[in-house]
Amino acid sequence: MAAAPKQLPSNSRIASFLALRTDQFEYVELILLAVIVGVLGALGNLGFRALINFFSYVYLNLEWHALRIREHTITALGIPIVLLSGGAALVVLNWIFPEDVLGYGFPQFLEMVNLGNARIKRIWIVIKALGAAISLGAGASVGREGPIAQIGGAIGSAIAQLRRLSAERVKVLVAAGAGAGIATTFNAPIGGLMFAQEIVLLNQTELSNLSLLIIATMSAVITERALMGNSAVFTPAPFVVKSYSQMLTYGLMGIALGALAAGYIHFMHRTADFFRRQKWPAWMKLGIGLLAVGLIAIPLPQNLSDGYPVINRALQGNFDLSRMSALAAAKFFASAVSLGCGAPGGVFGPLFFIGTMAGGALERIFERLLPSVTGPRGSYAFIGLGAFLSSTTHAPMTALFLLFEMTQDLQVALPAMITVVLSMIVARALEPESIDTYVLARSGKSLEIGKERLLLSQIPVSAVMTTEVDTIAENSSLTEVLRMAGETSQAILPVVTSEGELSGIIVTRHLLAVLVSGDDLGPLVNAFDLAWRNPPVATPAMSLDAATQMMEYDALEELPVTDREHGGKFLGLVTRSAIAQTFNRVSVSLSTLATRDSSIYWASGYRVSRLAVPEPSAGKTIRQLDPRARFDVSVLAIRERDNPTLGFVPVVPDRPLKAGDELIVAGRPASVRHFARDLQSV
C-alpha cells in the first residue's frame, strides 16, 4: 500500500480537484486564514474601542458629574477618586481571572511568540480588552496599543490552533493578528505590517510569511474603512519644509530624544522594580500607583488616559513651551507609575504623548535660539512622536511608515529619517535593549535569535538529542499505532525496522486527520503503510542551526536522528523545545560574562546549566562548596532569589547562598550532576 502523504487527505483531494499541488493549496489556505485573521482583528479592535468609549463615559463623564468635578477648581480634588474606583473594578476582575489582568504584559507576549509555542490564551481576547478598557476609561496613564496587539495575537493563535497548524505557522498568524490590530488603530496598513515584522517577529520571517502579514493588515484596514470610514487617529498640521537647513534642528532633536528615550526605558523599569520589591498586596500597589496618577491629574488633567485629543492639539501647534514641557514630564512619570503598579495597558500611547510634547517643546527652544533654521510649529511635535517611538522600541521602520501614512506627504520623509535614525543610534548606544526586551534581557532571556544563530551553528545535535523515544515497528497493526499515538507525548512516531533502522515517521496530527476524514483504513494497514517515507532526518554531527532550518521548512516540531554511516540506524529525536532551551542557556552565560561582541565556542561535551540552590545549601558560600576543585565545575553567575529582576551577576565567593538563588554553572554533564547532588546533600 502506498505511503500516506504528510498533508491532510482532505486537503489533497481538494487540491487535486482544483488542479493545484498540495503545497500550493496549503499556501492558498494560509492566505485565506490571513484574511480571516485580519478581518477578525479589525472587528476585535473596533469592539475594544467601543469598550474604551463605554468605560470613559462611565468614569470620566457619569462619575465626574456625580462628584461635580470641574478642572482647575477645588472640585478637581475628586479626580483621584475616579481612578481609585477604576482600580477597584480591576481588582475584582483580577480576582476572577488571576494573572491575566494586571500589569504590562507585552514583554510576556513577545516571549510567548518568540521563545514559546505562540499559543496565546483565547480568554485574552476578552480579558485584555476588558482590563485595558477599564484602566483607560478611569484615566490611568497607559496606552491602548499593547492590549490591541495581544487581542489580535490571541485571535490569530485561536484560528491557527483550530486548523492545527505547526508552531511556526501559529507564530506568523499571531503576528498577523497583532499587526492587524495596530493597522486599524492608526489606519496604517504598512505601519501595522512593520509592527508585526519588527516588533513582534523581530525581523525573523521568510518572504512567504511576510506576504501573509501584508494580506492580514490590508484586510484589517479595508474592513475598518468599510465600517468606520477613512479617518485617522491623529490629524497633524500640513507638513512644510521651507529650507534644507532645517535638517540641522531636526538632527539635534533626534539626538535629544534618543537620550530621553534611554532614560525613559530605565525609569519605567526601575519604577516597576520598586513596586515589585514591595511586599504589599497587588490591590495596594495598584491603589497607590493610581492615587499618584490622580494627584498629578489635578493640575494637569490632560495627563489622563492615552491623551490622544491632547496630542492632536499639540500637533496643531496650540501649546507653549512651559505647557508642553510640563505635560511631557507628567506623562514621563505617570505612565511609568501606572504600568509599574499593575494598571493594564500598553506603552505606545505614552510614547506618542511624550514624543509629541518633547518635540514641540524643542521646537519652541530652537525657535528662540536658531530661528533661521527652525521649521513651522507642529512639525517637530509630529516628527518627535515617531522618533521617540523608534528610539524606545528600536523599530525605526514602524515609526517611519506610521508617519508617512498619517501625512501621505513625501516632504516628511527626509526630516523623519534623519530624526528617527539619529534618535535610534543614540538610544541604542545608551541602552542596547528596547523597552519591551529590557526586562527579558535582565532575566537572562534573549529574543535576538536571528542575530545569534552562530551559537546554534557551533552546537551539534548529539548535545541535545534524546534517546528515550517511543518508536513503533514497521509491522505494527493500526490498533497498535493508534494506541501508541494516544499515549505518547511526541509529535512524531519513528517507524523502525527489526534491525533498528529508520523506515519512516508518522506525524501524529496527520494520523488523527486521516481518521477524522473518514478514509477507509482496512485491518491489514500497518505502521509501514501509514509512515512518511524518506522524511527529513538529522545526524549527530549536524548543527542545531541546520536542524532548526529543516524543522521550519517541513513544519515539524521534532526530527529523527540517524547514523547514516551505519545504514541509517535510528538513534533518537531532537526537538524544537530542546534547541530553544539550549540556546537560552548559552545566551545567558555569554551575556553574564559581558562577551556580547565576542564569539565563545564551547568544547564538545561541555554544558552550561542553570541550578537552583536547595535548602540544604542555604548559608554556604561558593568558597566553602569549592565546586571548581572538587567537581571541575565553574560557577559563572548568580541571580538572587530576593531580587530576580537584577538579572544574573558575577558570583561573590564569600556571599552566603540563599535557598532559591539560581546559579549558572559550566562543566561536563557528569560533573554538573555530581555538583547538583552535592548541593542537595550538604
- Indicate the pLDDT class of residue 263, thresholds 50, 70 and 90: very high
Instruction: Please tell me the predicted confidence (pLDDT) of residue 674.
Output: 83
Instruction: Please tell me the predicted confidence (pLDDT) of residue 492.
Output: 81
Could you give the dihedral angle defined by the CA atoms of residues 528, 532, 534 and 537, in that order, rounded to the nearest 10 degrees? -110
Q: What is the mean pLDDT of the chain?
A: 79
Report all structural domains of the chain as residue ranges with CATH numbers, in order of start. Answer: 22-228 (1.10.3080.10), 244-443 (1.10.3080.10), 451-579 (3.10.580.10), 603-681 (3.30.70.1450)
Instruction: Please tell me the predicted confidence (pLDDT) of residue 495.
Output: 86
How far apart, in whole angstroms, are the C-alpha atoms of residue 485 and residue 479? 10
| 562-to-168, 200, 538, 672 alpha-carbon distances in Å | 24, 35, 6, 28
Query: Which amino acid makes up residue 281?
Result: P
| 157-to-126, 228, 540, 676 alpha-carbon distances in Å | 14, 26, 34, 39
What letter would DSSP give residue 335?
H
Q: What cell was used for 117?
A: 509555542
Residues 201, 195 contacting (CB under 8 angstroms):
no
Instruction: Please tell me the predicted confidence (pLDDT) of residue 598.
Output: 35
How far apart, in whole angstroms, are the C-alpha atoms of residue 4 and residue 674? 47
Q: Kindly state the average pLDDT of the residues 403-431.
A: 84
Residues 381, 315 contacting (CB under 8 angstroms):
yes
29 by DSSP, 3-state: which? helix
Block residue for cell numbers 505547526: 166
| 604-to-347, 463, 498, 601 alpha-carbon distances in Å | 44, 8, 32, 9
How far apart, in whole angstroms, are the C-alpha atoms of residue 646 and residue 664? 15
Phi, psi of 507 (to 5 degrees): -80, 115
Block residue for cell numbers 468606520: 228
Instruction: Please tell me the predicted confidence (pLDDT) of residue 264.
Output: 92
Residues 290, 91 contacting (CB under 8 angstroms):
no
Please count the other Cβ atoms lying within 10 Å of the Cβ belonging to residue 227. Answer: 11
Determine the distance from the C-alpha atom of residue 118 to the mean position of all C-alpha atoms in its chain, rounded to a whole number: 10
Sign of CA dihedral 479, 482, 486, 487: positive
Instruction: Please tell me the predicted confidence (pLDDT) of residue 447.
Output: 59
Sequence-ordered list of residues with C-beta below 8 angstroms from that of 393, at least 6 positions apart, any chain: 199, 351, 399, 434, 435, 436
C-alpha atoms less than 13 angstroms from C-alpha of 93 in its C-beta half-sphere? 26
Phi, psi of 125 (to 5 degrees): -55, -35
- For the chain, how far is it from start to end, CA to CA, in angstroms? 61
Residues 502, 568 contacting (CB under 8 angstroms):
yes
- Indicate the pLDDT class of residue 595, thresholds 50, 70 and 90: very low
* Beta bridge partner(s), residue 559: 574
Instruction: Please tell me the predicted confidence (pLDDT) of residue 524.
Output: 64
Determine the distance from the C-alpha atom of residue 603 to the mean position of all C-alpha atoms in its chain, rounded to a whole number: 32
Query: Which amino acid makes up residue 519?
Result: D
Percent of the chain past pLDDT 70, that is, above it, reads 84
Question: What are the strands of the beta sheet with 532-533, ordered from one edge?
Answer: 472-473, 492-496, 502-507, 532-533
Q: Kindly state the average pLDDT of the residues 242-266.
A: 89
Q: Tell me which of 69-83, 108-122, 368-382, 616-630 is least confident.
A: 108-122
Block residue for cell numbers 480634588: 77
Phi, psi of 446 (to 5 degrees): -115, 130
Q: Tell me which of 71-75, 133-137, 420-424 is least confident.
A: 71-75
Q: What is the pLDDT of residues 144-160, one digit of tens each?
A: 887 888 888 888 888 88
How far apart, in whole angstroms, are the C-alpha atoms of residue 294 and residue 79? 6
Q: Tell me which of 124-133, 310-319, 373-382, 593-602 is least confident.
A: 593-602
**Is residue 520 packed enough to be buried (19+ CB in 10 Å), middle (13-18) or exposed (0-12)?**
exposed
Q: Kindly state the average pLDDT of the residues 99-121.
A: 74
346 by DSSP, 3-state: which? strand
Q: What cell was used for 83?
A: 481612578
On the question of pLDDT at 11 being above 70, the answer is no
How far apart, in whole angstroms, are the C-alpha atoms of residue 195 and residue 173? 14
Q: What is the pLDDT of residues 547-590, one digit of tens each?
A: 877 887 677 888 888 886 555 788 888 888 887 777 776 665 55
Q: What is the pLDDT of residues 291-347, one digit of tens each?
A: 998 898 889 888 888 888 888 888 887 888 888 899 999 999 999 999 888 888 888
511 by DSSP, 3-state: which? helix
Instruction: Please tell me the predicted confidence (pLDDT) of residue 426.
Output: 92
pTM over 0.75: no
Residues 664, 613 contacting (CB under 8 angstroms):
no
Exposed e or buried b per residue across 71-95, where buried means at least 16 C-beta atoms within 10 angstroms of its C-beta: eeeeebebbbebbebbbbbbbebbe
Phi, psi of 554 (to 5 degrees): -105, 10
Sequence-ordered list of residues with C-beta below 8 angstroms from that of 503, at least 6 positions apart, any chain: 474, 495, 496, 497, 528, 531, 533
Q: What is the pLDDT of residues 423-467, one digit of tens each?
A: 999 998 898 888 887 777 666 555 555 445 556 665 778 778 888
Q: What cell was used for 316?
A: 496643531
Q: Given the DSSP bridges, would you call strands 607-612 and 662-667 parallel, antiparallel or unpaired?
A: antiparallel
Q: What cell was used for 20?
A: 493545484
Q: What cell was used for 338?
A: 501606572
- Smallest Cα–Cα separation from 349: which of 61, 146, 612? 146
Sequence-ordered list of residues with C-beta below 8 angstroms from that of 259, at least 6 positions apart, any chain: 426, 427, 430
Sign of CA dihedral 559, 565, 571, 574: negative
- Indicate the pLDDT class of residue 132, thresholds 50, 70 and 90: confident
Please calculate the CA angle 652-658-664 and round it to the nearest 5 degrees: 55
On the question of pLDDT at 238 being above 80, the answer is no
Q: Given the DSSP bridges, would you call strands 502-507 and 472-473 parallel, antiparallel or unpaired?
A: unpaired
Instruction: Please tell me the predicted confidence (pLDDT) of residue 1.
Output: 40
Instruction: Please tell me the predicted confidence (pLDDT) of residue 597.
Output: 36
Q: Kindly state the average pLDDT of the residues 254-273.
A: 91
C-alpha atoms less than 13 angstroms from C-alpha of 415 in its C-beta half-sphere? 32
* Beta bridge partner(s), residue 634: 666
How far apart, in whole angstroms, are the C-alpha atoms of residue 420 and residue 436? 18
Contacts 24+ apart (CB under 8 A), 243-246: 243/373, 244/414, 245/372, 245/373, 246/373, 246/374, 246/375, 246/415
- Indicate the pLDDT class of residue 138, thresholds 50, 70 and 90: confident
Residue, of 596 and 133, whose pLDDT is higher: 133
Q: What is the pLDDT of residues 614-655, one digit of tens each?
A: 888 888 888 888 888 788 788 878 888 777 666 677 777 788
Residues 628, 634 contacting (CB under 8 angstroms):
yes
Q: Tell me which of 2-6, 33-37, 343-347, 454-458 is least confident.
A: 2-6
Q: Tell me which of 82-91, 434-443, 492-501, 634-643 is least confident.
A: 434-443
Block residue for cell numbers 529582576: 645
Residues 178, 219 contacting (CB under 8 angstroms):
no
Q: Given the DSSP bridges, would you call strands 492-496 and 472-473 parallel, antiparallel or unpaired?
A: parallel
